[in-house]
Each structure stands twice: as structure tokens, then as C-alpha cells.
Amino acid sequence: MAYIRSKKPSGCVFCKDSIRDHDLVLYEGKTAFVMMNRYPYITGHLMIIPFRHVSKLEDMTSEEKKELFDLTDISVRVLKEGMKPEGFNIGMNLGKAAGAGVDDHIHIHVVPRWNGDTNSLSVIGEVRVISEDLTATWELLLPYFKKYQQEV
């Protein structure tokens, strides 16, 4: 509710200067960062976002593309260690027609999955049930990301 009632930042919500909750950021690389999704599909839903405001794969540098994939790999490792999911959904929605909520700043979703974790609420009621507070999930995952930051 605090976010809903608050004044929203102008500009792109994924550009680093616009990110309001720096505590949702888990890892900062050279060209991209990992943050928790403020409106997760399920607990542990992460996003990998380039620092540079770019909307098309073909406009990204080789370094940006490589780091996005490297951070996807690290995110999967962290979630495996910290949350023990049984699977993952990983993807990008490129353009509004593909379902992109923010279509002008490319990003990758990493969603941990467990057998039996879905229900009809998301489909029928347009409601999502999150079993853990974002701050608690952030606190759980941060030490794992710090471990991998030291290895890079």
C-alpha cells in the first residue's frame, strides 16, 4: 500500500536512477544488475536488467548480452541454493504484444517453481499469493549473491 499511495518516479522504472527501493537490488555487475520483482509471480521472482536504457536485443552490446546471461546463471544458482526450487521459468517479453509490462527497457525474468505451486487465483481472479515478504526473501538471497560477487 505504501508504494500504491506514494508518488511514482518519472521516467523508466528500471533505469538505475529511478529505482526507488535499492534494497530490492541483490547484485550489481558492470553493465547489468539483479533485483527482486516488486510484483512477483511467485516468491523469489528475480529480474536481470541492463543499466543502459535499451529495448531491443539487437541494440545491446556483446558485453551487455554476455553479462545478462552470466547473471541469469548466477541467479539460478542462488535460487537453487537458497530456496531449493524444483524448476525455473526464465524468459523475456519483447514488446507489448508479447506481454511486456515495461517494453522500453529489456529485462530477463527468473522465476523459481515448485511442483504444485500454482493455483487458479492467478488465472481466474487476477490475484497472486506470495508466501513470503519481499524483504525476507531479499535477506535470504543476498548472502548467496555476495558469495558469487566475490567469485567474479
Q: Residue 75: count other Cβ atoms within 10 Å of its Cβ.
A: 27
Instruction: Look up residue 5 and give its amino acid.
Output: R
Rounded Cα distance, 17 and 35, in Å: 14
Q: Strand 46-50 vs strand 32-36: parallel, antiparallel, or unpaired?
A: antiparallel
Rounded Cα distance, 95 and 26, in Å: 26
Residues with active-site annotation: 107
Query: Binning pLDDT at 50, 70 and 90, where does residue 131 land?
Result: low
Q: Does residue 65 carry a pLDDT above 90?
A: yes
Please name the helix (run of DSSP H) or strand (run of DSSP E) that holds residue 110, with its range, or none: strand 108-113
What is the average pLDDT across 63-90? 97
Specify the 3-state DSSP secondary structure of 67. Answer: helix
Which domains, and CATH codes, for the chain? Answer: 12-146 (3.30.428.10)
What is the average pLDDT across 122-145? 75
Residue-wise pLDDT for 28-49, tens only, equals: 999 999 999 888 888 999 999 9
Query: Binning pLDDT at 50, 70 and 90, where does residue 8 land?
Result: low
pLDDT for residue 32: 94
Name the DSSP letter for residue 7.
P
Which of 4-8, 23-27, 30-34 is the least confident region?
A: 4-8
pLDDT for residue 129: 56
